Structures are given as structure tokens and as C-alpha cells.
Chain A
């Protein structure tokens, strides 16, 4: 069977590097020969690397695979962990029009279009994930946003979430867990979302106290009691937001001394002396961040995210230990995961892409230019996920079983079939380098680009046959759509 001839190969290679150039995503890759669309299947090393890239990031942009091949897996991980050193200036042009990202809360609260901060924050999240070179960093931003979930349509969170994203999640996403937790506890958006802003010594509100332990730190089986919840609620009385009742949209953190319960507290077996004021909350942050249950809970969530829906206990134990010895150093924890045998062995399947991950991988592996305007985000939302739109504090589920249903599958296919056949105005695929190529060459070239592999024979032959039978769709569009809809593309 003929696969790709040399002439075809050059055309395919040209397709990929054209996109690289357009996007400037992988400096250094532009002049490098694209070497994975070859007439032989990729080696197992290439396959490992491709799978690792789509597990750690949101799917390799054209050209990124070649860059990673040059430095190797370990250096790739280290570069991603040291994200501050990566030049990401090209990203700014994608975000320049999103003016609300840098506004202070007064400006945000008084905008003429109240929905503007919501739409722009969703767009910014998708654009950053799609076009930043700091792929691991953006993935961790999404992970923590989901862990410390805030429903963006709840009351003032419409405009407060912008600050939470900018000042709480993003600066701490690869820092320490204690730093991240403490920032979240001071976050006006969180204090409003879980009702702590109105909690006073005369009526302590249990909502935030409970979720802080159940969802953010210890986990539901982490060893706290209803009495602990009441004590935590008392410790956090007075942790509030400015001007909430004045209606002027103010929204900065404030500790209201006169709302704070100054009596002593007893939390998780630890005494909190009387008259500590705001220190109660700071002591609580440290207690929770360093609690062994927190280490295990965060370790299991991270391993679930990066390794398997059923996290291997061996790795969770190891990661939990590193979490404790490194005092919650998120980079150390991630390093432990990525360089583990469990991670390596889990690649090539197992983790179903969540809808946003799926959409981002379509955009990235095809090198599509999109602004994530309404038609695109509407289609993503139809799959059931959009950043910040999960109403409950537990965040979107991170296991495939939750997503594997008829609504999600059909919506995925429709995203694939719409974008893949170039039927979306906001997301144009440039297929021109493929025009005129034989069908089998298109199938192999696109398989390598989208899946990092040549299709198994039976699927490959069937795809070629069907493409021939569909005469009124351009073969490259017909093939591309079907590959995106295929099971191979549903995993990361």
C-alpha cells in the first residue's frame, strides 16, 4: 500500500511549518524540517513524546513536537515548570482587545455592559490555553480554577472573578499550596461566592467553612467534624468584602474587627487563643495547608488529573509525601508525577479529554486562529463545560465516566464536524497545502498531525473508502472532521 510519497511529504511538511510561522508559537521550529509526517509510523519514543505533550499541555501546535524532540522529555518538562523564563510575548496580541482583564474592581463593577467581564475572562482563559507556550502553567491555572471553583454568574462574582483569576490563581498556580490557599481565603470573589462576606460573630455562616475543608483542603473524609466546621466559621467571621452593602460595587478584602468572634477556638485538635483577630484565619490557612489529609487529597486530585481517573495508590502516596516534605511546593509535586513510572505507563489513553480540553486540542493541533467568539464558545458550552460556569463549589468532574454520554459525544462530534469541515467562521483551517494530494497521503499526514500516529490498517482503509464516497466535501475536510470525531482524538 502506498502511503506518503516524498513529494507529498514535502507538501505536508510545508503545511505544518506554514502554520508554525503564522503563529510564531515555537521559535526555532520555523526553519526546522518537520520530521514526523513520514512514510513510516512514528517510533515509540515519538509516540511517547506526543502523548506526553497532549497530557501535560493542551495538544501540540504544529512545530512544537519537533522542538520537544530536539530537547527531549525531561528538558521539556523543566522548561514548562520554569515557565517565567519562557518568552510568551506573542500571546499579548491575542489578548490586547480584552480590556477588562486589567481593570480594577471599581471599573469592572460600573461597566456599561455588565456581562463584559464574564465573556472576556472566558475568552482570555481559552486564548491563553490555546496560544501560550506556557502550556503546563495554563493547564495548572485551569486546574486550580476548578479546584477553587467560583461560579461566575453568582451575584458580584460577575466582576469579582476577574480579580480572583488575575491576583489569586495565576500568581500562585505553580507556587506553594499554602500561598495559593491563603490568597484564595482572602479573595473577595470566594468570600462572596461561599457567603463568608456576610458571616458575623452573631451568625457565623458555615458555607465557606465547610467547603474550605471538604473541597479545598482536607477532603470529605479528611477527619473533621461538624464542630470543626462551626469553629472554622467562627475563626473566619469578619473576613469580608468592602462596600458590599453600599451598592457601589466595591469589592476589596477587608477584615471587619467588629464582626469577628474574639473568643478562643479549637480546630482539628489545635487551640486558637482568644483575641487573635485576623490571625485566626492566617493560623487556619497554615494548619489546613500543612495537614496530612490535605497532602493526600491534593495529591490524589493531581494524580487523577495527570495520570488516571482511578489514581494509582502507589503514586498518590509518593506525591503526598513530596507535598509534605516540600511544604506544598507545586513544582516539586508535579515533577514527581511527570517523572514517575505510573505517568509514563499511563500515556496513550485512559484520560478522556474534558470538553474544553477537546476544543483546545482541536484548535491547537490544527493551528487554527480563533478569537473564541460566541459561535465557538456556544459550541463548547453545548458539550457541557465552559470555564467558571459550573455552579457548585466542587468544580467540573475530572473523570471520563462523568462526560461519556450521548449529549457530550454528539456535541463533540458536532464541534469536530463543524470546525473540521471549515463551517465555522471564527475558526478557519487552512487546508490549502493538502489540496490535490492523494487521499491516502491526506489521511496519513493528518493522522500524524492530530494523533501522532498512523491509523491502524482497517480504520485507515475504511476512512479512505468513505472519503472517496463523499464527493461533495473536500477530501481533506472530510478526513479532518472524521479524525477529530474519532475515538483516538478523544483522549489525552
Chain B
């Protein structure tokens, strides 16, 4: 199995070059929200292991919210974030980036601090890496190559059925399954379809995963005497904060809303880039850190492929602390419109969202971190829109396919590859077609 990796480069923009940078990024799009996958700056389509990528200027309009607590507003550098999800190791991908997009990336990064004409691009990118605290991968091991092969498989079966449907009439499910299996075998032999085997799992990755699986609970166990000692105090304090934190209701301005909306819904999948400041105080920071550790552990070891809680529409998601510990960024790729994404966040995954976002300034009041919060629908929707920043450039390797589509295609393939299939299983398999 080839595990999925990711990368994020976070570079402060030189203010005098911001307009130029925005122009460069816009030039990579055919229209706002629609990237040219073969754009000369970073020709995304040439990267066979790249699922999603984006350039975002982290233009945080909410930094002034600290004033709600009577605190002075911090000035943060304006960052450019370049992030994505890939198959395999980050190192190999960065090398490929340098190989294929050196000039374009140099042009882009030259608008950032500390990048000169003689800067070593690879070393610079590595220096400015901003690792995610937690990452969600919809289905580990599902590579771009596999996704495309399985989509071609589904297409081939679909066209075959469209033209041959009548010849299957009256046949038992297992017989139809067997005939389609023969059809696919023939297509493979003719070189029209390829279904590659899963690659070997890198031993280093496996080892790290195992170590993480075991060591984290051990560490928690070791720290438990201390944790048990301070937990009541922390909980008491957290509960007090929860009840007293200011809860301003700030509505998004129409211009910002429209800028975001104009760039959305050009594909069945959308990018989501949001960031905001943490509530002041060590306790909130520690809570967030703890929660991110739990999310990280759960996404690596516990959750089932294809779903985050009950939600099946998220391809990848990253939780990243932005330039220190004062701000958290959340970046995801989700299917459907923003309204349905938020519907899922409120009705299906409210607890998961509340538990980290409630540490952000202005979030609707929660009840023991898990309840309430996003359930205050109107407040929550304005909150999240206000914290969303425009994703200037967004690439997806498989336009038109949702995470559920990918799941279907994998199930179709599995059904073809299983050596024996019962009538019941064959019926369920046919229902996918």
C-alpha cells in the first residue's frame, strides 16, 4: 500500500510584491475557481502522485477579534500557503516539484521574504515547511493512479452496459457478474484497461505508524498521574471559560461572501481554507493541542476508510498551526456546496468540529466542548464564512469525482477481483452499477 503524504509551505509575503503575487496566482486560473491544470507556472497535471494542491494567501480579516478580549491586536505577516496531498513521501514530491516547476515556483516565491535569485529552491521550501498537526485522509492507500484506473473501469462497464443491457436480461446476478468479469479481463488483455496491484507498503512508514500506535497511549499512561491531578482543575476552568467567553455575532460582509461564492462550485468538490485566532490563555492552547493529538491519533489509527464520523464527503483535511501557536488553519477538500458541507458539520459532525473550533475567538458557545457550538446554526455559518479565506489556486486530480464516487469505483473493482461471490453479494455488487 502506498500511504498518502502531504506538504505545506508557509512563506511570508513581501508587502510591496503582494499585488504581483496575486497576479501570478490568478494567471494560473482560467477563471476564478477554475485552475488551468497545465498552467506554465506549476503544471499540476504533470504530477501523477498529486491529489489536491492549493495556493492560498492567508489574508485573515479576523485578527482584530482579539480586541473582544481587550487585548492588543497582533500583527502577523501575510503568508502564502502552498499545500497539497500526495502519494508517497514528501521528499520525493518536493524533488519532482523542483524538477518540473522550478521557474514557476521561483517566480511565485520571489514575492516572499528571504527568497533571492540564487536561493536553493529545495532547501528554501524545506526550511519553510509548516507540518500539519493532524491530517485526515479519506482512504489510505488509494493513489491517484488507482483512482484513475478505477474510474476508467467504471466508465468502461457503464458504456458496455449502456450498449449491451438487453443481453443481460433475465440472467441471475452471479452470471451477470461473471460475464462482466470476463468483459473486464478482455479489456485488460487488450490493453484498454489497467488495474495495477497495490504497491508494497514502505517499511519505514509502517514502523513509524506502529511506534505511534503504541507510544502515544504509553505516553498518556506515563503522564496519567499528572493528568488526573490537573484534569479537574482544567475542566472546571474550561467550563467557566465556556460560560463566560464573549460570543459576538458578526455577520460576514456581502463582498467577502460573494468573492468566496464566485470561486466555488465549479467542480463537484470545493476547497475550504479557514483560519482564526485562538482564545487567549494557556488553557485554550493546551486544550487545542490535546484535541489535535487525539484527532491525529484517531485519523491515523482508528477511523474507518471513507468516513470521518458519519461524513463521507471529505477527501483530505489538514489542521495546521499558522506561524506559531496563536492561530489555527483548517484546510479541506469536500464534495457539494458550502451549505451542505455546513449541514454535515452541524448535523453529523458537530462534536468533532466544536471540540477544536470552540478554542477560537467568537465561536458559538459550546457545552462541555462537544455540544452546542455549531448547533447555533446561523451564528456558526456566519462564523465559518467570516474565517474562510479565498483559495486563489486550487487543483484536483480527478474533476467530477466525489469521494463517494471513488468509494463506488473501489467497490466495483473489489467485486470483480474477489475469487468467489455469493448470489447476495453479486446482487449488492450489481446495485453499484
The answer to whether A binds B is no
Task: Give me the interface of B with A, judged by CB distance under 8 Å.
Answer: none
Task: Give me the interface of A with B, judged by CB distance under 8 Å.
Answer: none
